[in-house]
Amino acid sequence: AQQQLAHSQKMEMVGQLTGGIAHDFNNMLMVVIGSLERLAPALADDAKTARRAEMALQAALRCSDMTRRLLTFARRQQLHPEPVDLDALAGGMAELMERTLGRDIEIVIEAPAEPLWTATVDRSQAESALLNLVINARDAMPDGGHLRIHTANTRFSEATTAHGMSIPAGDYVLLAVSDSGCGMPPEVLERAFEPFFTTKETGKGTGLGLSMIHGFVKQSGGLIGIDSTPGAGTTFRLYLPRAVETGRAVGDSDADAPEQAA
Ligand code: ADP
């Protein structure tokens, strides 16, 4: 068992490392690929150099495939779920989010309407998911706007499926991020979670933010909902499983339901 633990810890470190490297590496690769693609027309008269540039492009594209696979591996890494108060988590990131958004975007973190349940999530993954949503919201509002974050207790009375994630009926904690930005047309919405899918110019977007969020939420046993209206704005809703509160009378109708394995 000791050995197994050491192994899984090692695998986790490898995963974190490769994930981080693959992410940064891909940013640079996108610059290389973009430049090589732009070079091609200028080399029309020089077959030999054009062939070399084409070989370099093919190699860069193969590298990009490799980072894609590395990221798939990294996303499968073990999370460390713990009960987290998502309202407090957002509150703790207020300053960072304000700095990220700049002066032209107003941010409101709405207090939950009732005492918020805790959610079982990996805290640092939840933080980076929220930050990624905020960065996307900023990019969708180049001329300024509003960003609203809100949390709420949510009960699903039946199993629900969306964007390749499915969850059983039960209690979830909602973390919603709404912006008044450009919104997404259906063809963007359809592909938004694809790794490396981006509508941003080379060097600005990696197309990995939403794919990482998707991996995190799916692994946490949650669900993502998106509402987006082109020209009006977008709302991302993350439903994360409610933490099982032991030793506390919650007085819920499901209090005597069989406990879920943690
Ligand atoms: P990136 O931000 O690097 O492009 P993401 O995976 O985070 O990668 O997002 C993929 C695409 O989804 C973006 O390029 C953008 O077109 C779209 N998108 C994501 N969030 C929003 C948003 N809040 N408003 C409008 N479009 C969005």
Residues 6+ apart with CB under 8 A from 9: none
pLDDT number for residue 261: 42
Determine whether the shortest distance from the Cβ of 196 to ligand 1 is under 6 A: no
What are 122-132's pLDDT values in tens digits?
A: 998 899 899 99
pTM over 0.90: no
Query: What residue owns the CA closest to ligand 1's atom 19?
Result: 136
Residue 194 alpha carbon, nearest atom of ligand 1? 6
Q: Is 12 helix (H, G, I), strand (E, B) or coil?
A: helix
pLDDT number for residue 2: 54
Q: Rg for the chain (alpha carbons), in Å? A: 21
The DSSP line for 23-70 is HHHHHHHHHHHHHHHHHGGGGTT-HHHHHHHHHHHHHHHHHHHHHHHH
- Residue 109 identity: I
- Residue 147 identity: L
Determine whether the shortest distance from the Cβ of 105 to ligand 1 is under 6 A: no
- Residue 260 identity: Q
What are 18-40's pLDDT values in tens digits?
A: 777 777 788 788 889 889 988 88
Q: Is 135 helix (H, G, I), strand (E, B) or coil?
A: helix
Residue 93's Cβ-side half-sphere holds a number of Cα atoms within 13 Å equal to: 24
Alpha carbons 229 and 221: distance in angstroms, whole number: 27
